[in-house]
Amino acid sequence: MGGDYDGEIWITSKPGSIPLNLSLPNIFTNQTSGFKVNPFSQIFSASHVGPRTYALGDERIILIDKLNEIANHAYEFAKNQLSLPFDEKYEARPILDFTEALGDIKLLVTESNSNLDELRIRIVLNVDEDDDHILFLENFAQVIDQNLLEITKPIRQSLAEKIRVAEARASQKLEEFYSGARAMSIVRNLRVSSQPDVVRLAKWIEQNWNNFNNVEKEVAFYQYLIPTQSSGDYVHRDELDAPRFWDSNVQRHPNADTTYRWTGPSIKDAAPYTNPDAPIGSGLADEGLKDLDEL
């Protein structure tokens, strides 16, 4: 085919004709205000193109491979069964690559409540002036229509595998987070701060981490360690037994008890008060800044 086309054949799936019914595991749907796992678009290498609609990228190759297989069968069927007057340029090719006629292909998935509802496909085929080519593409379109679910089965399998891989990766990250691996790397830097209250906060979190529940760990990390690492300062000028606003921050967590109160070891005992009225320090010491750059 020389590239001069007289028209197009559109193959478009009807709404609801390719159900996916793929549910995302709880690790993706029951997210807290702190730790975040991969969003929908990252799990499936998809781009957001409309309300609840994403365009797939990787699965295009899967569909193209499947359509090439169908195109070969359609060509052989048309040649042998329909006795079409194929000219030599078609007869000379043992396999007809449908991508020669491909004008456009779209793979769209719709989602609701973070679940994959259905797949939509649109294939645009360019038609040249040869009657035999038109008849081939018509037969090709009929085969797709009659075997749509079977043709798209590998796509569903690909999406399911991506969910499995993403769940395993997210589970590993959660395990690393709750074990304290991420928190302790920040604690080590804050412990060398020139600001006494920063040191006291870091030591208090370090001493209590293994006794924190998951809510307390998220609050400690995202509302105390991260901000303190960023600013280099934390001020604890009162006699509270927990960091300032600790109870209210925990209470506001979506998975927390609204009557929560800290009853564990006091932050006043985490490190000696050399001078409770000391002014705010300049932030992290040089050693701490060096370690922070290496994170």
The tens digit of pLDDT for each residue in 21-79 reads 899 888 887 665 455 666 777 888 888 888 889 999 889 889 888 888 877 776 666 56
Closest CA relative to residue 203, chosen from 144, 270, 127? 270
Q: Is the dihedral of CA 203, 208, 210, 213 positive or negative?
A: negative
Q: 23 or 291, which is more confident?
A: 23
Largest Cα separation within the chain, whole Å, is 98
User: Is residue 48 domain-resident?
Assistant: yes
Q: Do 195 and 258 fall within a single domain?
A: yes
The tens digit of pLDDT for each residue in 164-204 reads 999 998 888 888 899 999 999 999 999 999 898 999 999 99
User: Is residue 2 domain-resident?
Assistant: no
**Nearest 5°: CA angle at 135, between 133 and 137?**
70
Q: Do 25 and 157 fall within a single domain?
A: yes
Query: What is the pLDDT, as a whole number, of residue 164?
Result: 94
d(CA 32, CA 142): 48
- Of the residues 133, 159, 176, which one is the last residue of a structural domain? 176
Confidence (pTM)? 0.70
User: Is residue 247 domain-resident?
Assistant: yes
Q: Which domain holds residue 100?
A: 7-176
Of 138-152, 154-168, 190-204, 277-291, the least confident: 277-291
Q: Do 140 and 251 fall within a single domain?
A: no
Tell me phi and psi for residue 186, to 5 degrees. -75, -40
| For range 243-255, the mean pLDDT | 93
Percent above pLDDT 70 for the chain? 76
Tell me phi and psi for residue 156, to 5 degrees. -60, -40
Q: Do 204 and 147 fall within a single domain?
A: no
- Of the residues 131, 158, 176, which one is the last residue of a structural domain? 176
- R_g of the chain, CA atoms, integer Å: 30
3-state DSSP assignment of residue 116: strand
d(CA 231, CA 163): 37
Q: Do 167 and 190 fall within a single domain?
A: no
Domain count, the chain: 2
Q: Do 100 and 237 fall within a single domain?
A: no
d(CA 275, CA 194): 13
End-to-end Cα distance, the chain = 56
Cα–Cα distances (Å) from 170 to 142, 164, 231, in that order, read 42, 10, 29
Residue 279 above 70 pLDDT? no
In the block, tokens 């491979």 appear at: 65
Q: Do 219 and 148 fall within a single domain?
A: no
Q: Do 11 and 149 fall within a single domain?
A: yes
Number of Cβ atoms within 10 Å of the Cβ of 210:
9
| For range 78-83, the mean pLDDT | 54
Residue 86 above 50 pLDDT? no
3-state DSSP assignment of residue 196: helix
The tens digit of pLDDT for each residue in 93-123 reads 434 556 666 778 889 998 888 789 999 999 8
Q: Do 209 and 150 fall within a single domain?
A: no
d(CA 132, CA 75): 10
DSSP label at 221? I
| For range 86-97, the mean pLDDT | 47
d(CA 95, CA 114): 41
Number of Cβ atoms within 10 Å of the Cβ of 285:
18
